[in-house]
């Protein structure tokens, strides 16, 4: 098992930058409501900056909790605030270095680099917890699951890191490196099953299948080490590639060792096949003797394993010589070994999507996208209303002009008595009759009525748009519950 280094970062004024943005765009009272949550995120990031240990399990477990909590918080924050270089954004730079090459990258436009770096370090922490926790008792199962979760995370980052700008990418986020780390996690999880099965003295047939799958995992991981910088990173002076090749060779040898023991038991029952058993054990011994290792942690176990295989080989060789008289099978004639996979990717997506404590205090902080849509809707609604008012004003002016041209309604009030009308009024009545009498007036009124109807239709459409938006909002709120952060329509002006 091998530890994984963390992506280093630097302290940044997270609290100050968000405070400045929130106060400038929403007000000091609104910021006071979210101040504790922002302060906690700021403190958590400073603790992430100080992450150094790769072997203190208690400290690693603390790292794991901090990283998950910070990831949940910043994932929520990016939905509420815009990050960038403009005045209406949170102005903040997120600097990170590659865990292997030390290459420095930074982002000012979004949180993709920040969040993906946090996920990478979380996966590394999970790996290191498994690597440095003693494989004893029930802990074996827990460690195996931890490796499976790390495998899922590295695989998950292949998708989440697709949004990274080219200027933010480094070796850590290459597909080859992520696939390598994911496969190594599965190999280490499989090793936990092997360790438990061997301690329980399970049958050689099962142990041969488990170890051959282990060999296959390391063989697959080795294929992803084509990048020179990854292969050159030292692991106890041997380099990652040399270390991975060692495990390919080592577990291939152990698989043949247990295959030899399996065939030996079968030969004793059936009366033949001891030469095939001898061939597997001879091949296993030759493979172990060709497995160079620069890792002090594996040197002693390698010596012990060579001694164990040597004894088994000599014993089978002697039995074959005295009883079975079969020739030792060559490598090309050895029996095929099947694989048995006991591991998988174990998702932690539910943990990463947990609710952010204090999210209710952020209701006033509308997401940038919502604020933009709200502004666009307000502009369109104002445009429709203004156009309607303009049409109504024009129709009213036309109506007043017609009435004025006939001396109405003032002419009625200028009558000297109920039976007498001024000559000027009689003249206007005559002109009115010549233009069509009551039919002309009805035609004018009909046009006014039609214009009024058109205006009412426009206003009704506006009301329907508003009601539809409110219904959509209620539907989303009923579906997603507290995860739907947008303010109710009734509270928007």
CA angle 125, 127, 130 (to 5 degrees): 110
Tokens representing residue 173 in the block: 């986020």
Residue 206's Cβ-count burial label (10 Å; 0-12, 13-18, 19+) is middle
Top-confidence residue, 380 or 52:
52
Do 125 and 64 meet the contact criterion of CB atoms below 8 Å apart? yes
Q: Of 167-181, 282-296, 386-400, which has the strongest mean pLDDT?
A: 167-181
Dihedral Cα 387, 389, 392, 394, nearest 10 deg: -70
**Residue 196 reports pLDDT greater than 80:** yes
Query: Helix H segments across 366-422?
Result: 368-405, 410-413
- Parallel, antiparallel, or unpaired for β 94-97 and 104-107? antiparallel
Lowest mean pLDDT among 166-170, 367-371, 388-392, 452-456: 367-371
Average pLDDT, the chain: 86
CA of 349: how far to CAs of 9, 66, 318, in Å?
24, 16, 56
For residue 194, give the nearest of 242, 247, 150 by alpha carbon: 247
pLDDT the model gives residue 241: 55
pLDDT tens digits along 415-441:
545 456 667 766 777 776 676 667 767
User: Which residue reads 């290191």 in tokens?
Assistant: 128
Q: Which two tokens stand for residue 200?
A: 């329980």
Q: What is the pLDDT of residues 218-263, one digit of tens each?
A: 999 988 875 534 444 444 444 555 688 889 999 999 999 999 999 9
Residue 121 confidence (pLDDT) above 90: yes
Q: Please, which residues bridge with residue 90 across strands?
A: 83
- Axis-axis angle for helices 139-160, 112-132 (nearest 10): 160
Average pLDDT over residues 189-218: 94
Question: What is the pLDDT at residue 317?
Answer: 95
**What is the structure's pLDDT at 236?**
42
Compute the distance between CA of residue 147 and CA of residue 145 in angstroms, rounded to an integer.
5
Mean pLDDT on 467-485: 79
Residue 104: strand pairing partners: 97
Mean pLDDT of 266-293: 92
Q: Around 20, how many Cα atoms within 13 Å sit in the side-chain half-sphere?
A: 13
Q: Is the pTM of this model over 0.85?
A: no
Would you state the pLDDT for residue 85? 83
Q: Containing H/E element for 282?
A: helix 274-289
Neighbouring residues of 379: CB distance < 8 A, sequence distance ≥ 6: none
Cis peptide before 477 (omega within 30 of 0): no
pLDDT category of residue 459 using cuts at 50, 70 and 90: confident
Q: How far is CA 184 from CA 45, 155, 157, 397, in A?
A: 28, 11, 15, 82
Nearest of 157, 124, 176, 164 to residue 2 by alpha carbon: 124
pLDDT tens per residue across span 77-118: 988 888 888 877 888 999 999 998 899 988 877 789 999 999
Whole-angstrom distance, CA of residue 385 vs CA of residue 377:
12
């Amino acid at each position: 098992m091998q530890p994984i280094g963390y992506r280093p970062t630097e302290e940044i004024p997270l609290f100050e930058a968000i405070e400045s943005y929130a106060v400038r765009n929403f007000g000091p009272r609104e910021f006071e409501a979210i101040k504790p949550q922002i302060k906690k995120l700021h403190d958590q990031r400073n603790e992430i900056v100080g992450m150094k240990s790769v072997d203190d399990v208690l400290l690693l477990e603390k790292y794991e909790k901090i990283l998950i909590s910070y990831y949940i918080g910043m994932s929520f924050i990016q939905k509420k605030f815009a990050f960038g270089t403009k005045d209406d954004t949170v102005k903040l730079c997120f600097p990170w270095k590659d865990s292997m090459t030390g290459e420095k990258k930074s982002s000012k436009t979004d949180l993709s680099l920040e969040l993906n770096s946090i996920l990478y370090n979380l996966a590394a922490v999970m790996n290191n917890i498994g690597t440095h926790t003693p494989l004893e008792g029930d802990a074996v199962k827990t460690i195996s699951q931890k490796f499976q979760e790390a495998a899922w995370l590295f695989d998950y980052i292949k998708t989440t890191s697709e949004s990274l700008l080219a200027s933010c990418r480094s070796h850590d986020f290459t597909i080859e490196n992520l696939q390598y780390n994911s496969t190594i996690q599965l190999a280490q999880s499989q090793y936990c099953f092997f360790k438990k099965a061997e301690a329980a003295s399970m049958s050689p047939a099962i142990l041969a299948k488990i170890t051959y799958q282990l060999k296959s995992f390391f063989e697959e991981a080795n294929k992803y080490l084509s990048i020179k910088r990854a292969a050159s990173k030292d692991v106890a002076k041997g380099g990652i590639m040399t270390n991975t090749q060692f495990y390919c060779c080592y577990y291939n040898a152990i698989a043949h060792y247990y295959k030899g023991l399996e065939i030996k038991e079968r030969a004793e029952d059936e009366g033949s096949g001891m030469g095939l058993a001898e061939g597997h054990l001879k091949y296993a011994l030759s493979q172990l003797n060709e497995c160079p290792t620069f890792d002090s942690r594996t040197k002693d176990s390698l010596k012990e394993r060579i001694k164990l295989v040597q004894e088994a080989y000599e014993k089978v060789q002697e039995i074959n010589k005295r009883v079975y008289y079969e020739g030792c099978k060559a490598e090309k004639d050895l029996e095929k070994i099947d694989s048995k996979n006991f591991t998988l990717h174990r998702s932690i997506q539910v943990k990463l999507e947990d609710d952010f404590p204090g999210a209710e205090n952020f209701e006033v902080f509308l997401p940038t996208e919502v604020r933009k849509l709200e502004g666009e809707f307000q502009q369109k609604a104002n445009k429709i209303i203004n156009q309607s008012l303009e049409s109504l004003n024009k129709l009213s002016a036309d109506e007043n002009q017609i009435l004025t041209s006939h001396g109405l309604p003032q002419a009625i009030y200028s009558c000297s008595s109920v039976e007498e009308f001024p000559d000027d009024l009689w003249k206007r009545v005559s002109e009115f009759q010549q233009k069509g009498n009551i039919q002309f007036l009805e035609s004018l009124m009909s046009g006014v009525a039609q214009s009024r109807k058109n205006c009412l239709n426009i206003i009704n459409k506006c009301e329907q748009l508003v009601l539809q938006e409110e219904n959509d909002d209620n539907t989303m709120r009923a579906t997603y519950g507290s995860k739907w952060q947008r303010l109710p329509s009734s509270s928007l002006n």
